[in-house]
Structures are given as C-alpha cells and as structure tokens.
C-alpha cells in the first residue's frame, strides 16, 4: 500500500481538499498521512478523512522520510513561508526526502512561477488525482 503524506499549514484548506479527492478516487487502497505545520491544519486534514495525522516540525521531518509520495503546496518548500510556519528544517526535509513530490503551485507568498498558467485549486487537484492514478 502506498503511503502518501499531505503536508499543509495555516488552516489546512489545500491539504483537506486534496485528501477529500484522494479518498473519493482511491478509497482505502492508499494510506494518507496528514502532516500539518500546526494543529489546526492537521485537524482539518483529519476531518477530510486522512488515515492518521501529526503536527509540527519534528513530525513532518521524521514522517516524510517514510513516504512514497509527498503532496504539498509550493510554500512548504519555502523557508519562513505561511507567516513563518515553514521552518528551515521542514523545507529541507520535504525537499530532500526520497519520496516523489507532487507540488501544488499555489502560494500566498510573493512568488510567481513563470511559464505556468494560473489554475484554480479544483483543477489542480483533478490533475493531481490523474497523475496519482498512473503511479499508484
């Protein structure tokens, strides 16, 4: 069974939407671990039916090492993003883990990804689900 870690922060809205879609598509054929930079984000992802969850820097750093796939908004790779919730250790752990990383190009930071047309979150999540169907 594939282990997918969904990492999010602040209110956990992106992670929750991703988890809901993955549960609709894959049901219980994958394990989804919600990793929040804070307890609120984790709680929201658990409400979306993640199999388990944990919060904070140490939980993220240790758990992404065990993932087959990591899904997160691009902000998780940016030190001090999400109003400071993303620590250097979190960004390094996610960027450096051996898991395949599916990055959602949404950010509240002052960053634009050149060459990428802006898409609403539901379209990005649909594309993410299709990509996963080919690798799970």
pLDDT tens readout for residues 34-59: 999 999 999 999 999 999 999 999 99
**DSSP 8-class letter at 87:** -
Q: What pLDDT was estimated at residue 82?
A: 94
Residue 112 domain boundaries: 2-135
Q: What pLDDT was estimated at residue 118?
A: 86
Q: Where are the beta strands (DSSP E) in the chain?
A: 2-8, 30-36, 52-55, 69-73, 100-104
CA separation for the pair 96, 90 (Å, rounded): 10
Q: Which of 71, 91, 58 is nearest to 2 (CA)?
A: 71
Q: Mean pLDDT throughout 89-117? A: 92
With bands split at pLDDT 50, 70 and 90, how would you rate the model's confidence at 134?
A: confident
In sequence order, the 6+-apart residues with CB closer than 8 A to the CB of 107 are 73, 74, 75, 78, 81
Maximum CA extent, the chain: 37
Helix 13-26 vs helix 121-135: crossing angle, to nearest 10: 40
Q: How many domains does the chain have?
A: 1
**DSSP 8-class letter at 66:** G
Question: Average per-residue pLDDT in the chain?
Answer: 95
Greater pLDDT, 106 or 122: 122
CATH number at residue 31: 3.40.50.1220
Q: Is the pLDDT of residue 108 over 90?
A: no
pLDDT tens digits along 5-32: 999 999 999 999 999 999 999 999 999 9
With bands split at pLDDT 50, 70 and 90, how would you rate the model's confidence at 107?
A: confident
Q: What pLDDT was estimated at residue 110?
A: 86
**DSSP 8-class letter at 106:** -
């Amino acid at each position: 069974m594939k282990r997918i870690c969904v990492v999010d922060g602040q209110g956990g809205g992106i992670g929750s939407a991703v988890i809901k879609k993955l549960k609709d598509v894959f049901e219980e054929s994958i394990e989804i671990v919600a990793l929040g930079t804070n307890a609120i984000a984790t709680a929201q992802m658990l409400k979306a039916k993640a199999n388990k969850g944990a919060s904070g820097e140490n939980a993220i750093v240790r758990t992404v090492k065990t993932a087959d796939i990591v899904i997160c908004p691009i902000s998780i790779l940016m030190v001090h993003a999400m109003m400071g919730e993303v620590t250097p250790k979190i960004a390094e752990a996610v960027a450096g883990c051996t898991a395949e990383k599916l990055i959602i190009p949404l950010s509240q930071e002052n960053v634009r990804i050149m060459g990428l047309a802006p898409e609403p979150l539901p379209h990005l999540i649909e594309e993410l689900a299709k990509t996963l169907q080919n690798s799970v």
